[in-house]
Amino acid sequence: MKKLFLLLVSMSIFCSISAQKSEEIRLLVRGDDIGSFTAANQACIDACLKGIVRSLEVMVPCAWFPEAAKLLNENPTIDVGVHLVLTSEWTNVKWRPLTFDPSLTDEFGYFYPYIWPNRNEPGRSIQEAKWKLTDIEAEFRAQIEMAKNCIPHITHISEHMGCAGWNDEVKALVQQLAKEYNLYWGNPQTKPFPRMNATNRDSAEKRIAVFIEALDKLEQGNTYLFIEHPAYDTPEMQRVGHSGYENVAADRDGVTKIFTDKRVMDFIKKKDIHLIGYHDLIDDYQGFYVIDTKIYDGNGHVFTPYGVNTLFMYQDPGGVKTIPGIAKTSANCIRMFWQNDKNVPLSVLDDAIAKAVDNQLVVIVGLWEATGKWQNIDQCIDYWLRDDVKKMVEKYEKYFMLNIANEAGDKTISEADWENKYIDAVKKLRNAGYRVPIMIDPANWGRDERYIINCGEKILASDPLRNIIFSWHPWDIYQPASRYTNAFKSTLDKKLCMIVGEFSHLGANYEGTLDWKPLVEECNKFDIGWLWWSWCMTNDKHNIVNNFDFEQKTEWGAQVLTEMDKVAVKASIFN
């Protein structure tokens, strides 16, 4: 049970703050636990209508949810989140799941009182129970669906007592559900709210004064989040509590007084603090995103890339012949060769992307300036930072993945240099506003998976969106299938998302046979996407087709297309 006067929640995967003027101070004041008690219901509504609260979080499994839903529907301008529940912490009042989920309940059928073990009450936490992820999913779905059915203007998901972030699997589940139900989940990038020298046992007058002092410390250009639990001191609330937190009614009544105090509101106006809701922060991003080892499309469905590399830039400008041919296959994506060539305008790439999207192909664009040439990687990074390039990517971000640089660097590049450079690149791209998945090739011409295995976790951790895909190009000939198996297992164990971005039936320079079928078999076994090299180039032995003509398949092309037919599924965003 939260006893602290201040609660700040850490930033989640895949959330970004909306644009703000540098001189603004923005404050999101959130009132939690509407639906828990009638005294909380009315206090939460009053804290919005008569005070500074701008978002309310509703608890669906609780007895007073129907009244909360009625009040919220009577006030549809209030920003509302579904406050997911897995615990029932009070001594004198309990709540149960909406679904029959024995792994989530105690011997009486109530939620456990704690998420984490409590040494004073061993065996009374969900972590100590034999919980099942399927049960949690069923319960969360039930809560979300009831909330959306009863309160149509629900905008986001929040969590009661940390129930959505205590386990990586649960966290990934909630991220997926948020996308599926088109709800914002996570907290904005905020500065810590100033520490306040007050406790929940101090008088309301002292707490109001301390709160105003904290408001005075808020700085321009920052966004702050403050979370508390309004309620009124009524006979009902006076029966609520648990060991160590018995003054719930008085404490929460004090919170309501703070949120509705005229002096607080006057100070906020005087200091020009902008009160905001989640609707001001909700990201409109509908593109691809990564959770652990899987890629998801904007509809929240898993997407595994199966496709082809193309070099139409010079031989088939705009992909006029290439893209319609690829669209006749089962490929669901296309990886486009591109260079910063002053003789080929960006409009050529723009047209090709538009044509690919029209043909229901997800687009990966890679820059080739640094292929084997580590000294040129900054040219690639700088290219992506150009305003005209960013504007183009933003136009297609629902369908787009950004491959920073194709196969940058040879085998002399150290793992430390590779890691540091890509950490820096990710930082620059995210600071520039890119939200799409960033795809990264290993050094040694894309061939050495050890860069990914040994350094991938730190690169992923450097991305505030954790939206990173690693692309391995296993061009080495005469390799045992065990190499592929070990590479895939290692990346999956480290929760890294990886695809095979290039391969063929021959070595890169035709130096020998590449036994590609075991590679594809291992990819399919581990649900790893793969893209073959390549559709068509003049007099190239890697061609899938000749003369850019779908009907003129090469022998190897016919074989690999048959394998793709077995696994490829179009992205659901095109349905």
- Give mean pLDDT, residues 174-190: 80
- Give mean pLDDT, residues 72-86: 93
Is 197:234 a contact under the CB 8 Å cutoff?
no
d(Cα 477, Cα 75) in Å, to the nearest integer? 67
Compare 181 and 131 and report the one with higher pLDDT. Answer: 131
Q: Which phi and psi (to 5°) does residue 230 adopt? A: -70, 145
Using a 10 angstrom Cβ sphere, with 0-12 exposed, 13-18 middle and 19 or more buried, the burial of residue 153 is middle
**Confidence class for position 538, pLDDT limits 50, 70, 90:** confident
Using a 10 angstrom Cβ sphere, with 0-12 exposed, 13-18 middle and 19 or more buried, the burial of residue 12 is buried
Q: Is 90 exceeded by the pLDDT of residue 450? A: yes
Using a 10 angstrom Cβ sphere, with 0-12 exposed, 13-18 middle and 19 or more buried, the burial of residue 68 is buried
Sequence-ordered strand ranges (E) for 183-303: 184-185, 223-228, 273-275, 289-291, 294-296
Q: Is 60 exceeded by the pLDDT of residue 19? A: no
Average pLDDT value over all residues in the chain: 92
**Confidence class for position 466, pLDDT limits 50, 70, 90:** confident
Q: Is 60 exceeded by the pLDDT of residue 7? A: no
55-58 vs 79-84, strand pairing mode:
parallel
Beta bridge partners of 468: 438
DSSP string, 285-325: --S-EEETTEEE-TTS-B---EEEEE-HHHHSGGGTTHHHH
The predicted pLDDT at position 165 comes to: 85
Q: For residue 11, what is the DSSP state?
A: P
**Confidence class for position 189, pLDDT limits 50, 70, 90:** low
- Quick one: tokens of 443? 């050094």
What's the CA dihedral at 243, 249, 251, 252 to 10 degrees? 120
Q: Is 60 exceeded by the pLDDT of residue 313? A: yes
Q: Which domains does the chain possess?
A: 25-280 (3.20.20.370), 301-560 (3.20.20.80)
d(Cα 260, Cα 38) in Å, to the nearest integer? 18
Q: Tens digit of pLDDT for each residue in 495-522?
A: 999 999 999 999 999 999 999 999 999 9
**Confidence class for position 17, pLDDT limits 50, 70, 90:** very low
Q: Tens digit of pLDDT for each residue in 400-432?
A: 999 999 999 999 999 999 999 999 999 999 888
Q: For residue 470, what is the DSSP state?
A: E
Q: Which phi and psi (to 5°) does residue 365 adopt? A: -115, 130
SS3 helix, strand, coil % of the chain, rounded to 5?
Answer: 40, 15, 45
> What percent of the chain lies above the pLDDT cut of 90?
81
Q: Is 50 exceeded by the pLDDT of residue 293? A: yes
The predicted pLDDT at position 571 comes to: 97
Q: Tens digit of pLDDT for each residue in 193-231?
A: 999 999 999 999 999 999 999 999 999 888 899 999 999
Sequence-ordered strand ranges (E) for 314-406: 333-338, 362-367, 400-403
The predicted pLDDT at position 291 comes to: 82
Q: Tens digit of pLDDT for each residue in 103-144?
A: 999 999 999 999 999 998 999 999 999 999 999 999 999 999
If one counts every other C-beta atom within 10 angstroms of the C-beta of residue 488, the result is: 21
Is 464:427 a contact under the CB 8 Å cutoff?
no
The predicted pLDDT at position 192 comes to: 83
What's the length of the chain?
575
- CA 312: distance to chain centroid? 33
**Confidence class for position 23, pLDDT limits 50, 70, 90:** low
The predicted pLDDT at position 281 comes to: 72
Q: Is 80 exceeded by the pLDDT of residue 3? A: no
- CA 491: distance to chain centroid? 19
d(Cα 547, Cα 535) in Å, to the nearest integer? 10
Is 80:155 a contact under the CB 8 Å cutoff?
yes
Alpha carbon separation from 516 to 304, 370, 473, 544, 568 (Å, rounded): 19, 26, 12, 14, 17
Q: Is 60 exceeded by the pLDDT of residue 328? A: yes
- Quick one: tokens of 28? 């999101």
Compare 152 and 151 and report the one with higher pLDDT. Answer: 151
